[in-house]
């Protein structure tokens, strides 16, 4: 599903290239659950953002579902992105001015899904995450774990093939973290959604079936 | 999506209630100003536009080029209309429109006079109504304005005379004591927005004048309207016009006379010619107002942009998220425009309320019937929606483009700093611009106020206070009663002096004549002629430079000239002028005195060359100088004396001071408007400043707290923020000064008598702008600086 070849990313600081990622080669198959690990500043988030098309590599080839991304138009890329990728963040990143229900609904608006279809999908997700009673609350009225559940629900709303999660449990207590990880496992197993997560915790990494170790922008271990 | 965006927009607005209020308040005041200006301008431009043929209707006007100037006239020589009807095949219709006036007596059933009024009448012929499609309620133009013994009246006049317009047909009125006229037509009232306020119409064939065939004399009471044939342009008539002028005017004169076809739409807006309604609003004023409207809108939009970009920082996260979950730039743009357009729509609602409230005051100022009814003015609805779209888009475009252009990754890390990414400097530019506009307006207003004061206080060269001017009929019988009336009025206790005259020293009624001096050939300029008797100089307090005032006389026997004429005749010493001869008004007469220059028109114009003479049949006014304290008791007595000699005429009088004040009506209006709109713009600008400072203060809460922990005093913190704004305001002043200088000098150059531009207006503008800035900034930052630093730092 994802093929990275010789991906490089550097920032030019005062004329000098400062490399964040170097010679990254990686393959991620459909249905995999991959964890990216490594010390702080190693380039994990950068790599995830490149995979998620939020950022572009300075060099190298990135094929998503056998299409070379650099050859696609901006419009086409957004199209792929909208339909297939969902993001989950450490800081949840919900829109403060929107209720739970509306937050989940926004990506569906961008996909031009009909009103009735939107309503039913949002209702399903609320139901599934046991948030029906909270659907009219605003993010600041929820606990961290609940906010992250909304974040995941929002990522799932467009029915993506791939979920990218950047330290999704980084701000959560362990009980809530467990719940989120269980949810990821279930999504991966039962629905075949491909998941790539960044994590610091060995325990979280263990939920996945593969670990990508990143040190100073280089993949040291791809097990 | 639209509904959700709208909902979010509303929530966002509600969340930032303070800014929303500032935004809406500033914007709605600006919009209300624009709507008012729009209503006013569209009213002015709607004059004479109600006729089906309006694009083909032209008025023939006159123009003279002298060696030292030019003159514009709405009037044409009396024989012109019918000559043009013969000579111009390109014209479908030509109609004379002659103004006249006199006393109208309305009779009751028994033949007794039941009403006596002084009326303005118009003479024309049926072709006038082929040009202007006026609705006739009864009768036809052919029946009514062909024969000299018939009259047509407007619906309003019919009701006034006979109580009901259906009753009017067949009734009789007496015009000027002797003309028995039968009402044979009633036409619909002309709207307020008409340059020809026709109430009473007589047949042109009944118009009598001794110069009916005279091409050398032009009165502003004689107009001529033409209807061009379909497809013709005035330019197509130029050749014919040249031949026409050659045919009727001798070309040995130094004065070059021309006639132009003035489009109907320009009659109300070209103040050089004037019209029968006596109402003009020059394009200069219209453009001036439109510019003020634009400035208003601009300041309001700048507020909006400033506040929205300041808010953008707070919204970068939302933008980041929206991008991450699939929103593209276009959708974000739509979202932000939805917000700004929603906001401007609310502002519009509020603006409508403000407009409704202010409109009566505005129509009072213009003495016009302005109304704000959406139903009758679909164009106004279109204008208002265009306004909402314009403001929404203009105000939204910058924040929308900046916000939607955020890199999502950076936005989510809260690393977008609008301050550094151009938004901050743009905001500074906008603030400077806004304040530059404000400074220009403040300084401009100060200059206008100074000039008005100067004109009020400037010595006119004669005494105008407590002088009543009473109208005198001057037919041959009335003239015989002048002396006795004058004597009786002069005998009233409290009356200081009485003079018979044609007009006062300063008047808008100026009669000019050609004349010759030391030659048989006419001079290449005209003189202003004023008739005044032996008491004229005393009554108006005119002072002589040489010779003596006019002596008692019934006919033109001698002249007094003014200084300006003396100089134009190249006479250096006033004494030398006395004893010279001038041929004017058909007589060669000696100069007996030179009078010191007095302002004979408004202060906008210079002094004309004038000859004063004493001749009874030129007199048409009685000037009565009184003791100020006795004016109210004297006026009825004067009226009673007048009525006892002229029972068939209608008394009317006015004060010279009021008359002089009327010259400056448009200055008073423009001055008032400028003061109001300058006030509004200042209000908007400072509203915006307040909003902006609030943002800066909120953003700097943490910085202020840290500084405080490090030992800064509250005052030092307030000063720190003040100094950055003061720099901007000083810069704005620097930008504004040259602009103000150029604009104001140009405005002042329209006055022959004007103040010297000094530093004051600029200083006043600077002090006001600085003062308000310091006040606003201090007020807002004091709160932030006073806050307990621990609270601010704990939040992190
Ligand atoms: N916009 C940027 N400009 C310069 N350097 C950056 C930028 N963004 C990230 N970096 C650098 O790239 C490196 C990797 O960052 P990141 O991918 O966030 O690391 P991780 O998520 O592994 O902690 C860091 O050293 C960071 O300083
Ligand atoms: Mg990271």
Note whether B317 contacts A: Cβ–Cβ < 8 A: yes
Could you tell me if B450 and B326 are in contact, meaning their C-beta atoms sit under 8 angstroms apart? no
Averaged over B680-689, what is the pLDDT? 82
Closest CA to B30 of B732, B606, B680: B680
Sign of the dihedral through C-alpha A87, A90, A96, A101:
positive
CA dist B346 and B341 (Å) reads 9
Per the structure, the count of domains in chain A is 1
Residue B145 in domain: yes
Closest CA to B391 of B309, B300, B265, B269: B300
- Please state the atom number of ligand 1 nearest to the C-alpha of residue A47: 17
Which residues of chain A neighbour B324 with C-beta distances below 8 Å?
A: 52, 54, 87, 93
Q: Which DSSP letter does residue A32 get?
A: -
pLDDT of amino acid B539: 95
Distance from the Cα of B411 to chain A's closest Cα (Å) equals: 11
Closest CA to B119 of B136, B142, B102, B94: B102
pLDDT digits (tens, 9 = 90+) for A90-124: 888 888 778 999 999 888 887 888 999 999 999 99
**Lowest model confidence (mean pLDDT) among B192-201, B289-298, B405-414:** B405-414
pLDDT digits (tens, 9 = 90+) for B11-31: 877 877 877 887 788 888 888
N-term to C-term CA, chain A: 18
Q: Are residues B8 and B62 in the same domain?
A: no
pTM of the model: 0.76
Residue B305 in domain: no
Helices and strands of chain B, counted as H and E runs: 24, 23
Q: In the predicted model, what is the mean pLDDT of chain B?
A: 85
Distance from the Cα of B11 to chain A's closest Cα (Å) equals: 7
Residue B656 in domain: no
CA dist B540 and B596 (Å) reads 12
Distance from the Cα of B387 to chain A's closest Cα (Å) equals: 29
Per the structure, the count of domains in chain B is 4
Interchain proximity A54–B326, CB inside 8 Å: no
Interchain proximity B321–A95, CB inside 8 Å: yes
pLDDT of amino acid A97: 79
- Please state the atom number of ligand 1 nearest to the C-alpha of residue A42: 22
For residue B86, the surrounding DSSP H or E stretch is: helix B80-87
Residue B346 in domain: yes
Q: Are residues B7 and B109 in the same domain?
A: no
What is the C-alpha R_g of chain A?
18
What's the farthest any 2 CA atoms get from each other in chain A? 55
As a residue count, chain A comes to 223
Of A55, A102, A111, the CB nearest to B326: A111
Which protein residues are within 6 Å of ligand 1, measured from CB? A 11, 20, 38, 40-46
CA dist B706 and B502 (Å) reads 83
Q: Are residues B485 and B448 in the same domain?
A: no
Interchain proximity A89–B412, CB inside 8 Å: yes
pLDDT greater at residue B695 or residue A48: A48
What is the CATH number for A164?
A: 3.40.50.300
Averaged over B563-583, what is the pLDDT? 93
CA dist B421 and B430 (Å) reads 15
Residue B669 in domain: yes
Interchain proximity B326–A110, CB inside 8 Å: yes
pLDDT of amino acid B417: 52
**Which residues, at least 6 apart from B744, have a Cβ–Cβ distance to it below 8 Å?**
B443, B444, B447, B757, B761
Note whether B4 contacts A: Cβ–Cβ < 8 A: yes
pLDDT greater at residue B370 or residue B690: B690
Of B4, B321, B409, the CB nearest to A109: B4
Residue B408 in domain: yes
Note whether B269 contacts A: Cβ–Cβ < 8 A: no
Under 8 Å CB pairs connecting chains A and B tally to 58
Interchain proximity A109–B328, CB inside 8 Å: no
| Residues of chain A falling short of pLDDT 70 | 221-223
Averaged over B425-448, what is the pLDDT? 86
Residue B784 in domain: yes
- In chain B, the residue whose alpha carbon lies closest to the alpha carbon of A99 is B8
- Give residues 389 to 408 of B whose Cβ lies within 8 Å of A: 408
Phi, psi values for residue B409, rounded to 5°:
-65, -45
pLDDT of amino acid B374: 63
With left for phi above 0 and alpha for psi between -120 and 50, is residue B102 left, alpha or beta?
left
Interchain proximity A82–B326, CB inside 8 Å: yes
Highest mean pLDDT: which range of B152-156, B323-327, B665-669, B680-684: B152-156
Six token digits for residue A190: 């039962």
- Here the ipTM equals 0.74
Residue B688 in domain: yes
Phi, psi values for residue B253, rounded to 5°:
-80, 150
Six token digits for residue A92: 């949840």
Could you tell me if B42 and B36 are in contact, meaning their C-beta atoms sit under 8 angstroms apart? no
CA of A45 to the centre of ligand 2 (A): 4
Of B8, B11, B409, the CB nearest to A49: B409
Within B408-457, residue ranges assigned H as helices are: 408-412, 423-457
pLDDT digits (tens, 9 = 90+) for B738-765: 999 998 998 888 888 889 988 999 999 9
pLDDT digits (tens, 9 = 90+) for B540-564: 999 999 999 999 999 999 999 999 9
pLDDT greater at residue B550 or residue B786: B550
CA of B410 to the centre of ligand 2 (A): 12
Distance from the Cα of B313 to chain A's closest Cα (Å) equals: 14
Query: Residue B491's domain spans which residues?
Result: 474-648
CA dist B97 and B81 (Å) reads 9
Q: Are residues B105 and B247 in the same domain?
A: yes
- Please state the atom number of ligand 1 nearest to the C-alpha of residue A44: 22
- Please state the atom number of ligand 1 nearest to the C-alpha of residue A11: 4
- Give residues 405 to 464 of B whose Cβ lies within 8 Å of A: 408-409, 412
Q: Are residues B195 and B323 in the same domain?
A: no
Six token digits for residue B672: 């008032």
CA of A167 to the centre of ligand 2 (A): 8
Q: Spell B648-658 as b/e; 16+ CB within 10 A means b.
A: ebbeeeebbee
Query: Residue A24's domain spans which residues?
Result: 2-222
**What HEC string does B696-740 produce?**
HHHHCHHHHHHHHHCCCCHHHHHHHHHHHHHHHHHHHHHHHHHHH
Q: Are residues B403 and B442 in the same domain?
A: no
Q: Are residues B621 and B701 in the same domain?
A: no
Q: Are residues B434 and B453 in the same domain?
A: yes
Number of Cβ within a 10 Å radius of residue B590: 13
SS3 B506: coil
CA dist B652 and A24 (Å) reads 102
Q: Are residues B504 and B605 in the same domain?
A: yes
How far, in Å, are B137, B618, B684 from residue B219 at the CA level? 32, 16, 50
Answer whether residue B794 shows pLDDT above 50.
no
Which residues of chain B neighbour A102 with C-beta distances below 8 Å?
A: 4, 7-8
Q: Which DSSP letter does residue B465 get?
A: T
pLDDT of amino acid B438: 87
**Which residues, at least 6 apart from B329, have a Cβ–Cβ distance to it below 8 Å?**
B404, B405
CA dist B619 and B600 (Å) reads 17
Averaged over B446-459, what is the pLDDT? 86
- In chain B, the residue whose alpha carbon lies closest to the alpha carbon of A55 is B409
Distance from the Cα of B684 to chain A's closest Cα (Å) equals: 29
Answer whether residue B420 shows pLDDT above 60.
no
CA of A92 to the centre of ligand 2 (A): 14
CA dist B761 and A35 (Å) reads 72
CA dist B97 and B60 (Å) reads 11
pLDDT greater at residue B1 or residue B513: B513
Answer whether residue B421 shows pLDDT above 60.
no
Q: Are residues B119 and B137 in the same domain?
A: yes
Q: Are residues B398 and B445 in the same domain?
A: no
**What HEC string does B132-158 produce?**
CCCCEEECCHHHHCCCCCEEEEEHHHH
Interface test with B, best of A98, A165, A168 (most B CBs within 10 A): A98
């Amino acid at each position: 599903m994802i093929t990275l070849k010789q991906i490089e990313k550097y920032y030019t600081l005062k004329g000098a290239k400062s490399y964040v990622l170097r010679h990254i080669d990686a393959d991620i198959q459909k249905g995999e659950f991959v964890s990216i690990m490594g010390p702080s500043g190693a380039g994990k988030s950068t790599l995830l953002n490149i995979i998620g098309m939020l950022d572009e590599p300075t060099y190298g080839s990135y094929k998503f579902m056998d299409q070379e991304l650099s050859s696609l138009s901006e419009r086409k890329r957004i199209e792929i992105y909208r339909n297939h990728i969902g993001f989950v963040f450490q800081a949840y990143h919900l829109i403060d001015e929107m209720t739970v229900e509306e937050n989940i609904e926004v990506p569906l608006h961008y996909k031009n899904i009909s009103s009735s279809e939107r309503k039913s999908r949002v209702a399903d997700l609320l139901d599934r995450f046991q948030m029906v009673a909270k659907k009219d609350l605003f993010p600041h009225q929820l606990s961290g774990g609940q906010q992250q559940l909304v974040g995941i629900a929002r990522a799932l709303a467009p029915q993506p093939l791939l979920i990218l999660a950047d330290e999704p449990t980084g701000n959560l207590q362990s009980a809530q973290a467990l719940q989120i990880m269980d949810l990821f496992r279930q999504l991966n197993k039962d629905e075949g959604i491909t998941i790539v997560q960044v994590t610091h915790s060995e325990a979280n990494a263990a939920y996945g079936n593969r670990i990508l170790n990143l040190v100073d922008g280089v993949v040291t271990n791809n097990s | 999506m639209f509904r959700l965006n709208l909902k979010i927009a509303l929530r966002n607005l509600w969340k930032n209630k303070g800014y929303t209020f500032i935004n809406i308040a500033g914007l709605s005041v600006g919009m209300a100003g624009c709507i008012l200006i729009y209503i006013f301008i569209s009213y002015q431009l709607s004059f004479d536009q109600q006729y089906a043929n309006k694009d083909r209707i032209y008025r023939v006007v006159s123009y003279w080029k002298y060696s030292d100037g030019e003159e514009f006239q709405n009037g044409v020589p009396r024989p012109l209309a019918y000559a043009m009807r013969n000579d111009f095949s390109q014209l479908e219709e030509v109609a004379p429109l002659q103004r006249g006036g006199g006393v109208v007596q309305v009779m009751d059933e028994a033949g007794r006079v039941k009403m006596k009024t002084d009326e303005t009448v118009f003479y024309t012929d049926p072709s006038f109504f082929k040009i202007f499609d006026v609705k006739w309620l009864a009768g036809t133009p052919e029946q009514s304005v062909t024969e000299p013994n018939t009259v047509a009246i407007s619906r309003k006049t019919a009701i006034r005379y006979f109580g009901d317009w259906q009753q009017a047909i067949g009734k009789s009125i007496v015009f000027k004591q002797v003309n028995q006229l039968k009402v044979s037509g009633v036409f619909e009232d002309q709207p307020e927005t008409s340059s020809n306020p026709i109430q009473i119409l007589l047949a042109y064939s009944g118009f009598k004048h001794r110069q009916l065939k005279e091409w050398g004399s032009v009165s502003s009471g004689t107009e001529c309207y033409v209807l061009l044939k379909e497809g013709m342009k005035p330019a197509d008539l130029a050749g014919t016009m040249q031949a026409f002028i050659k045919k009727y005017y001798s070309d040995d004169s130094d004065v070059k006379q021309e006639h132009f076809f003035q489009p109907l739409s320009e009659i109300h807006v070209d103040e050089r010619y004037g019209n029968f309604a006596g109402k003009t609003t020059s394009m200069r004023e219209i453009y001036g107002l439109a510019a003020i409207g634009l400035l208003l809108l601009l300041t309001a939009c700048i507020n909006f942009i400033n506040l929205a970009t300041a808010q953008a920082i707070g919204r970068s996260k939302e933008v980041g998220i929206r991008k991450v979950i699939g929103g593209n730039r276009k959708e974000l743009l739509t979202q932000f425009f939805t917000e700004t357009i929603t906001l401007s729509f609310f502002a519009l609602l509020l603006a409508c309320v403000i407009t409704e409230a202010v409109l009566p005051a505005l129509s009072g100022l213009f003495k016009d019937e302005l109304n704000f009814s959406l139903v009758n003015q679909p164009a106004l609805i279109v204008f208002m929606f265009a306004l909402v779209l314009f403001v929404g888009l203009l105000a939204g475009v910058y924040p929308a483009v900046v916000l939607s252009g955020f890199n999502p990754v950076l936005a989510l890390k809260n690393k977008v700093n609008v301050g550094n990414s151009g938004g901050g400097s743009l905001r500074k530019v906008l603030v400077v611009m806004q304040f530059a506009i404000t400074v220009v307006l403040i300084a401009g207003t100060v200059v206008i106020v100074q000039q008005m004061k100067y004109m009020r206080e400037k010595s006119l060269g004669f005494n105008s206070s407590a002088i009543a001017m009473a109208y005198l009929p001057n037919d041959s019988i009335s003239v015989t009663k002048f002396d006795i009336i004058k004597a009786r009025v002069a005998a009233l206790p409290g009356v200081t002096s009485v003079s018979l005259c044609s007009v006062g020293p300063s008047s808008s009624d100026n009669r000019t004549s050609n004349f010759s001096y030391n030659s048989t050939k006419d001079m290449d300029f005209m003189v202003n002629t004023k008739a005044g008797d032996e008491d004229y100089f005393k009554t108006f307090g005119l002072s002589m430079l040489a010779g003596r005032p006019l002596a008692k006389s019934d006919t033109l026997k001698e002249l007094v000239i003014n200084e300006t004429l003396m100089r134009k005749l190249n006479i250096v010493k006033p004494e030398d002028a006395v004893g010279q001869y001038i041929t004017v008004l058909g007589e060669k007469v000696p100069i007996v005195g030179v009078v010191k220059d007095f302002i004979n028109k408004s202060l906008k114009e210079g002094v004309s060359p004038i000859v004063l003479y004493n001749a009874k049949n030129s007199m048409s006014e009685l000037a009565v100088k009184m003791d100020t304290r006795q004016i109210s008791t004297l006026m009825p007595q004067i009226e009673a004396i007048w009525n006892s000699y002229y029972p068939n005429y209608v008394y009317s009088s006015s004060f010279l001071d009021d008359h002089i004040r009327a010259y400056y009506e448009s200055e008073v209006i423009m001055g008032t408007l400028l003061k109001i709109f300058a006030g509004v713009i200042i209000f908007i600008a400072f509203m915006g400043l307040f909003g902006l400072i609030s943002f800066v203060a909120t953003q700097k809460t943490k910085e202020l707290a840290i500084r405080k922990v490090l030992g800064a005093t509250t005052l030092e913190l307030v000063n720190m923020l003040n100094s950055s704004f003061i720099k901007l305001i000083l810069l704005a002043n620097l930008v504004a000064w040259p602009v103000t200088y150029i604009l104001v000098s140009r405005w002042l150059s329209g006055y022959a008598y004007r103040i010297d531009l000094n530093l004051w207006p600029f200083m006043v503008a600077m002090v006001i702008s600085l003062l308000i800035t310091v006040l606003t900034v201090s007020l807002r930052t004091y709160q932030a600086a006073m806050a307990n630093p621990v609270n601010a730092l704990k939040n992190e």
